Amino acid sequence: YHGLDVERLVQISKREPEGLEPRIGIGNAVNTVGNAAETRAWMAKRGFTSLRLVTGAYHMPRSLAEFHFFMPGATVIPNPVFPEHVKQKYWWAWPGTASLIVSEYNKWLFARARHWISSIFAAPRTILK
3-state secondary structure of 109: helix
pLDDT tens per residue across span 71-96: 998 999 999 999 999 998 999 999 99
3-state secondary structure of 27: coil
- Angle of helix 95-121 relative to helix 60-70, nearest 10 degrees, comes to 20
* Residue 62 confidence class, pLDDT cut points 50, 70, 90: very high
CB 41 within 8 A of CB 58: no
pLDDT exceeds cutoff 90 at 122 = no
